[in-house]
Structure 1
Amino acid sequence: MAGRSDLTAYGYRKARARFLAESDVCHICGHPAANVIDHINPVARGVDPRDEDNWAPAHGVTRCPTCGRNCNGEKGSNTQVKSLNTSRDWYESD
């Protein structure tokens, strides 16, 4: 199993650059110009950081130029991301 040290390996950095070139829409706020890979299931929980099925684009190194959020930083190590900003959760009953 790969560890956190693999996050700086040349092959990982190339794969990350290719992934972000293909899609830069942040999966947290929905705006373009995402600049980091978010591991949906955190690497700290033993997930292989090279598993591209566990990757999603996010803002983090620099804030979102549209809404100003540090999306990946706000998420922290939570395993679930709230859906895009909406006025209410429509699945909840009143």
Structure 2
Amino acid sequence: MAGRQDLTAYGYRKGRAQFLAANDICHLCGHPQADVVDHVRPVAAGADPRDQDNWAPAHGVNRCPTCGRNCNGEKGANTRTPRLKTSRDWYA
């Protein structure tokens, strides 16, 4: 089983960059230019950080250019996807 130290490994960082290049719509607010990978099931809870089936694009370090949120930071380690208030209902 992989650990948190795998989050800094070259292979992980390369895979993460490829994933974000192909998927840049934040799964939390629905806006483009996501800059981090959200582990839907947290690594701290035992999820393998390399499992791309557990990845979802989100805004983090650079915040969302549309709504200004740090979506992944607002979600935190919550395993449920929060319904963030947006100007558009992305869940309908």
Q: Normalising to structure 1: TM-score of the pair?
A: 0.88
Aligned-pair distance for 1:84?
A: 5.7
Q: Secondary structure at the match of 1:63?
A: coil
Distance in 1 of aligned mates of 2:16 and 2:81: 20
Matched-pair identity in %: 73
Aligned-pair distance for 1:82?
A: 2.2
- Aligned pairs (5 A) from 1:1-94: 1-83=1-83, 85=85
Q: Which 4+ residue blocks in structure 1 deviate beyond 4 angstroms?
A: none
* Cα deviation code 1:3-58 (max 9, x no counterpart): 00000000000000000000100000000000000000000000000000000000
Distance in 2 of aligned mates of 1:39 and 1:67: 22
Distance in 1 of aligned mates of 2:15 and 2:23: 13
The structure that has the greater radius of gyration is 1
Distance in 1 of aligned mates of 2:50 and 2:9: 10
Larger mean Cα displacement after TM superposition, 33-42 or 77-86 = 77-86
How many corresponding residue pairs?
88
Q: Secondary structure at the match of 1:56?
A: strand
Q: Secondary structure at the match of 1:38?
A: strand
The CA RMSD over aligned residues, in Å, is 1.7
Letter in 2 for 1:66: T
* Consecutive unaligned residues in structure 2, runs of 5 or more: none
